[in-house]
Amino acid sequence: MAKPPKQNSPITEHLAYLLAQANREINRQLELRLSKEGVPVEQWRILKVLSDGNGHSMGELADAVLLNHPTLTKIIDRMVSDTLVYRVQDPNDRRKVLMFISDRGKVLCKKLNSLAVDQEEHILESYGDKSTSELKRLLESLIDSSN
Amino acid sequence: MAKPPKQNSPITEHLAYLLAQANREINRQLELRLSKEGVPVEQWRILKVLSDGNGHSMGELADAVLLNHPTLTKIIDRMVSDTLVYRVQDPNDRRKVLMFISDRGKVLCKKLNSLAVDQEEHILESYGDKSTSELKRLLESLIDSSN
DNA sequence: TTGAAAATATTGAATGTTCAAGAATTGAAG
DNA sequence: CTTCAATTCTTGAACATTCAATATTTTCAA
């Protein structure tokens, strides 16, 4: 029993394609909701990570929000202008810059969280509780196995 | 039994985030392989869709390869320069442009397909047959339910 | 202790993407 | 028929991302 020949399988059967398609769709929906507050998805992620109140270095933050360093630097520049976050040089390692969320950032983050939760609930309704948690489990395990 | 409060759940528990993370990782792996032939993922998708030999309009193609129209136009410009594809005006509707793959494109596409299949097999090994097909099934159904 | 290598963040140029507007063609209502 | 709206694709300017190089600080071996 040989495996089916994949060489000519349509692109819609490739895992990489399905992931891209699903990500695109879900991301678009989230974008749409967050646009109510005029905030791009990346900025929400940043605020969310910083909302634990601790300082996070740029490198740490870049990993957490799935951006590479230069891109993050420039987004942070904008967010500093908007007084959503601020930089503090790490006293223990002065190469590092620690990022903190501002009070204004916290307020905005709360609003964004509830918009994001709205979306998750909407998915839960149309897609189902069970499928959703199963999908999350499989995605986590895929990410784990990819390192 | 109320549902857990999601408002403060870490970002890593959001479906949108997990999808973005998994997509980023798998896409990076694929990129790495295709770079052996110096071709970005988007161009492989385009070649793959066109490799049925039929003409596809720009709009149709844009949907299929997950790009919006202006981006596609400019990528196609490059691919035409590289003589991988060519444009033909649709005789039935002269607003439309039909895209075709060239012989050179077909040759390249075969090489790329086998690089992509390599990756899928690698995933199958480390992630497992069963998980992979279950994940694909769930992704397809998520995409369906999002329309 | 010094000097070379590694780690961290930023900058500027090159590149790529997107938004809004434009050109060409078709469809369809009056 | 004619004209106006809708469809399809492309273009150019604004915007965002990435790559390579730079500056600063730390680490560690000699």
Tens of pLDDT, residues A121-140: 999 999 999 999 999 999 99
pLDDT value at residue A142: 96
Q: Write the single-letter amino acid at B45.
A: R
Question: Which nucleotides in chain C lie closer than 7 A to a protein CB?
Answer: 7-12, 17-20, 24-27
Q: Do B49 and A11 touch (CB under 8 A)?
A: yes
* CA dist A109 → A33, A63, A85, A115, B18 (Å): 13, 20, 11, 10, 19
Among the partner residues B14, B117, B142, nearest to A120 by beta-carbon distance = B14
Strand partners, B85: B101
What are A118's two structure tokens? 């709205």
Residue A3 pLDDT > 90, yes or no? no
Residue B5 pLDDT > 80, yes or no? no
Which tens digit of pLDDT belongs to each residue from B30-78?
A: 999 999 999 999 999 999 999 999 999 999 999 999 999 999 999 999 9
pLDDT classification of A74: cutoffs 50, 70, 90? very high
Q: Looking up tokens 């444009």, which residue turns up?
A: B87
Closest nucleotide to B91's CA, by C1' atom?
C25
Which tens digit of pLDDT belongs to each residue from B74-114?
A: 999 999 999 999 999 999 999 999 999 999 999 999 999 99
pLDDT, greater one: A5 or A43: A43
What is the average pLDDT value for chain A, to the nearest integer? 93
Q: Do B138 and A138 touch (CB under 8 A)?
A: yes
Q: By C-alpha distance, which of A37, A99, A22 is closest to A67?
A: A99
Residue B140 pLDDT > 50, yes or no? yes
| Ramachandran angles phi, psi of A55, nearest 5° | -80, 135
Q: Do B19 and A11 touch (CB under 8 A)?
A: no
Among the partner residues B110, B135, B142, nearest to A142 by beta-carbon distance = B135
- The model scores a pTM over 0.75: yes
CB B85 within 8 A of CB B102: yes
Residue B2 pLDDT > 50, yes or no? no
Residue A115 pLDDT > 60, yes or no? yes
Which tens digit of pLDDT belongs to each residue from A95-105?
A: 999 999 999 99
Nearest CA-CA distance, residue B39 and chain A, Å: 16
The secondary structure of A46-97, three-state, reads HHHHHCCCCCEEHHHHHHHCCCCHHHHHHHHHHHHHCCCEEEEECCCCCCCE
Residue A5 pLDDT > 60, yes or no? no
CB B33 within 8 A of CB B113: no
Task: Please give the protein residue whose CA is closest to the C1' of the nucleotide D25.
Answer: A95
Which residues of chain B make contact with A21, given a CB cutoff of 8 A? 66, 139, 143
Q: Do A135 and B132 touch (CB under 8 A)?
A: no
Question: Which nucleotides in chain D lie closer than 7 A to a protein CB?
Answer: 7-12, 16-20, 24-27
Nearest CA-CA distance, residue B43 and chain A, Å: 12
Q: How far is the CA of B73 from the C1' of D2 (A)?
A: 33
Which tens digit of pLDDT belongs to each residue from B6-39?
A: 667 899 999 999 999 999 999 999 999 999 999 9
What is the helix (H) or strand (E) element at residue B86, kind and residue range? strand B85-89
Percent of chain B with pLDDT over 90: 92
Burial class (CB in 10 A: 0-12, 13-18, 19+), B139: buried
pLDDT value at residue A112: 96
Q: How far is the CA of A50 from the C1' of C15 (A)?
A: 31
pLDDT value at residue A4: 52
Q: Do A11 and B64 touch (CB under 8 A)?
A: yes
pLDDT value at residue A1: 46
pLDDT value at residue A145: 92
Residues whose CB falls within 8 Å of the CB of residue A132, separated by 6 or more in sequence, listed in order: A123, A124, B15
- Span A57-85, average pLDDT: 97
Cβ atoms < 10 Å from Cβ of A37: 12
